[in-house]
DNA sequence: CGGCTAGTTGAGACTACTCAACTATCGTGG
DNA sequence: CCACGATAGTTGAGTAGTCTCAACTAGCCG
């Protein structure tokens, strides 16, 4: 395992507006700096944690890109999310003291390790931090509800449109372009996340391209007509006209 | 609104092994009793909270049955869960200080109101309670991942089989039969939750009945062959034999 | 008892899946 | 550096599962 004892100050991290430090007072930030003892590097394709692993810490993505997935007894696999810089991994592990899903790096990545017992300890001392932890967990619950909405009530085109808009919006919040991106995941991973087969993902990309809504070349995607994508997402066949 | 200032002691609640009090020490229980100042009754069809309502409290279901649902801008609606006695509602509200989903009673219900600021305050004093709150939120995240798996990778029969088994198992944990139940929700609500149309839900019920796996009469369901339901859930077409 | 909502069933349409062939890209070793 | 194999992605044809629309039945409430 790839552990680095390099001290990283949350107080000087350029992700502090996206990550745990958001909204904390200077003295709380200082305490948080003490909490985060280690960082950990994960190579592309490497595993941050696997389902069943003992839960000890949360992880804040510092750089790179992850997917989380759950697996059934019969080998079925479902991607439950993609995580980028500033996002938190491992919340699923708290309830059973072991991870319920696996987290795999889709590109070389680095995470800040947040030992959970220490985070709880610090949360008892600082109500701002405590509330912030609650907000992070609640945010994950709300995100999951959004995915359920997507999986439960949208058709393939709508799912992919919503996915692309969500991804580019998150990238834009991190200083990247709001119209261009390079996908870190395969068509199969997108399909697993969106509840569709890879061929359907590919066909839908092609259809969007034919319609002039996006430009696709393998992993490169450029959004030419964001309004059209929005329209697809918000299109309810039941209220058609 | 239907507020009752009747004092209810968690310490004597018959749901204490399922609800928040689980695993707390007597002195912590006593503090929790002080926290829960009110109960609230909700009639069948009534709303506990709606999406957009200001968030002030979590709710522990004392009796009755709820559904939670999210709605899109274009009026699409997705049921995100069904909650019964001992389960916690409102976790989605923390992150934005307003509820992200709506909670509606499917039968006359009563909930314990847990003012969230007080719960946080108490959590800072009692680490057991703090950890317990974290576990409850984490449990919700894991549950949501399970729903994503269901919606993203299962077919109609598998979804309904998984749904019935989950429901009867939760009812059984509350002292009800492990083979019989009366559904509290309509075919449409089941369909919304499972990402299928009400007609498909109905047809799938009929098919299970024709195959001798269950007995259905409107809302009454009896599981005749639980092993067959399990087999349907764990059946992966890709690994067929 | 009548009207209304919930649930069932049928027929046909359509979306997304399966299977398959082909192309593009990337990394590796000769 | 190019050739090769492996992986990823695209596209086509046919199929299956689910949806849509519709008619009908059952149960519930006033």
Q: What is the pLDDT of residues B63-98, one digit of tens each?
A: 999 999 999 888 888 999 999 999 999 999 999 999
- Across the interface, of B121, B135, B149, the residue whose CB is closest to A78 is B149
**pLDDT tens across B122-150, in order?**
999 999 999 999 999 999 999 999 999 99
Residues in chain A within 8 Å Cβ distance of B133: 134
In the predicted model, what is the mean pLDDT of residues B27-40?
86
Chain A nearest-CA residue for B152? A195
pLDDT reading at B5 higher than 60: no
Does the beta carbon of A76 lie under 8 angstroms from any beta carbon of chain B?
yes
Give the CATH number of the domain where residue B110 resides. Answer: 2.60.120.10
Q: Which residue has the tokens 């009563």?
A: B110
Distance in angstroms (rounded) separating the CA atoms of residues A132 and B95: 8
Give yes or no for a contact between B173 and B18, defined as CB atoms under 8 angstroms apart: yes
Look at B69 and B236; give whichever has higher pLDDT: B69
* B20 confidence band (pLDDT: 50, 70, 90): very high
Same domain for B122 and B37, yes or no, is yes
CA atoms of A123 and B233, how far apart (whole Å): 41
Do the Cβ atoms of A138 and B91 come closer than 8 Å? yes
Helix and strand element counts for chain A (H, E): 7, 10
pLDDT band at A30 (very low <50, low <70, confident <90, very high): confident
pLDDT of A22 above 70: yes
Rounded Cα gap, residues B20 and B126, in angstroms: 13
The pLDDT, as a whole number, for residue B173 is: 95
CB contact under 8 A, A74 and B236: yes
- Give the residue, A189 or A75, on which the prediction is more confident: A189
- Kindly determine whether the C-beta of residue A195 is less than 7 Å away from any atom of nucleic acid strand C: yes
Phi-psi region of A50 (alpha: psi -120 to 50; beta: other; left: phi over 0): beta
Q: Is the CB of B192 under 7 A from strand D?
A: no
Question: What is the per-residue pLDDT for A78?
Answer: 96
Are residues B128 and B10 both part of a single domain?
yes
Within 7 Å of a protein beta carbon, the nucleotides of strand D are 8-13, 17-22, 26-27
DSSP percent split of chain A into helix, strand, coil, nearest 5 = 45, 25, 30
Task: Convert the pLDDT of each residue in A121-161 to its tens digit.
Answer: 999 999 999 999 999 999 999 999 999 999 999 999 999 99
Rounded distance in angstroms from the CA atom of residue A160 to the C1' atom of nucleotide C11: 32
Judgement on whether residues A58 and A167 belong to the same structural domain of the protein: no
How confident is the model at residue B11, as a pLDDT? 87
Given a cut of 70, whether residue A33 has pLDDT beyond it is yes
**Statement to judge: residues B65 and B184 lie in one domain:** no
Percent of chain B with pLDDT over 70: 94
Check whether residue A43 and residue A128 sit in a common domain. Answer: yes
Q: Which of A64-78, A183-197, B132-146, B172-186 has the lowest mean pLDDT?
A: A64-78
Within 7 Å: CB of B38 and strand C? no
pLDDT bin (cut points 50, 70, 90) of residue A239 is very low
Which CATH number covers residue B214? 1.10.10.10
A126: nearest CA in chain B?
A: B124
Mean pLDDT of A84-91: 97
Domain limit, last residue, from A116, A150, A184? A150
- Chain A, chain B: beta-carbon pairs less than 8 Å apart: 167
Which residue in the block uniquely carries the two structure tokens 């800072």? B124
B85 closest CA partner among B180, B159, B184, B7 = B184
Question: Does B31 have pLDDT greater than 90?
Answer: no
Q: Nearest-CA distance from B145 to chain A in Å? A: 6
Q: Is the same domain home to B55 and B174? A: no
Rounded CA separation B226/A172 (Å): 49
Those residues whose C-beta lies under 8 Å from the C-beta of residue A44, and which sit 6 or more positions away, are A105, A106, A107, A108, A109
H or E element at residue A34: helix A26-35
Question: Mean of the pLDDT values across residues A75-82?
Answer: 93
Give the span between the Cα atoms of A143 and A169, in whole angstroms: 14
Torsion from C-alpha of A43, A141, B99, B6, nearest 10 degrees: -140
A97 with A109, same domain: the answer is yes
Residues A24 and A143 reside in one and the same domain: yes
Rg of chain B on CA atoms, in Å: 19
pLDDT tier, B7 (very low <50, low <70, confident <90, very high otherwise)? low
Residue B75 and residue B166 in one domain: no
Task: Single out the residue in A102, A132, A150 at which a domain terminates.
Answer: A150
Using the 3D structure, point to which of B115, B150, B185 is the last residue of a domain: B150
Q: Which of A148, A161, A162 to mutate to test the interface with B (most CBs of B within 10 A)?
A: A148
Residues A76 and A187 in one domain: no
Q: What is the pLDDT at residue B236?
A: 53
Query: What is the per-residue pLDDT for A240?
Result: 38
The answer to whether the Cβ–Cβ distance between B234 and A152 falls below 8 Å is: no
If you ran DSSP here, which 8-state letter would residue A9 be given? -
Share of chain B above pLDDT 90, in %: 80
| pLDDT band at A233; cut points 50, 70, 90 | very high
Q: Which residues make beta-bridge pairs with A203?
A: none
The total number of structural domains that make up chain B = 2
pTM for the whole structure? 0.94
B173 lies in the same domain as B69: no
Residues whose CB is less than 8 angstroms from the CB of residue A179 and which lie 6 or more positions away in sequence, other chains included: A168, A222, A223, A224, A226
Query: What does R_g of chain A's alpha carbons equal in angstroms?
Result: 19
Size of chain B in residues: 241
Structural domain boundaries, residue B67? 3-150
Q: What is the mean pLDDT of chain A?
A: 92
Contact indicator for B54, B65 with CB cutoff of 8 Å: no
pLDDT greater than 70 at residue A237: no
B55 and B112 in a single domain? The answer is yes
Residue B238 φ then ψ, to 5°: -70, -25
């Amino acid at each position: 395992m790839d552990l680095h004892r390099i001290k990283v100050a949350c107080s000087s991290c350029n992700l502090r507006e996206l990550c745990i430090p958001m909204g904390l007072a200077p003295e709380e930030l200082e305490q948080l700096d003490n909490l985060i003892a280690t960082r950990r590097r994960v190579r592309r394709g490497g595993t941050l944690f696997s389902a069943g692993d003992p839960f000890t810490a949360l992880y804040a993505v510092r750089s790179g890109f992850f997917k989380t997935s759950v697996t059934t007894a019969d080998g079925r696999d479902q991607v439950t999310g993609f995580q980028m810089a500033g996002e938190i991994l491992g919340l699923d592990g708290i309830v059973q003291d072991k991870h319920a899903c696996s987290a795999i790096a889709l590109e070389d990545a680095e995470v800040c390790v947040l030992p959970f017992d220490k985070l709880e300890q610090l949360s008892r001392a600082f109500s701002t931090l405590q509330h912030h932890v609650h907000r992070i967990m609640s945010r994950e619950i709300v995100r999951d509800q959004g995915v359920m909405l997507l999986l439960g009530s949208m058709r393939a085109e709508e799912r992919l449109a919503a996915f692309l808009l969500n991804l580019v919006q998150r990238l834009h919040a991190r200083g990247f372009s709001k119209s261009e991106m390079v996908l870190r995941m395969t068509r199969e991973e997108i399909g697993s996340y969106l509840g569709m087969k890879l061929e359907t993902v590919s066909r839908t990309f092609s259809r969007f391209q034919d319609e002039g809504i996006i430009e696709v070349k393998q992993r490169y995607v450029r959004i030419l007509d964001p309004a059209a994508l929005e329209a697809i997402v918000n299109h309810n066949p039941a209220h058609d006209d």
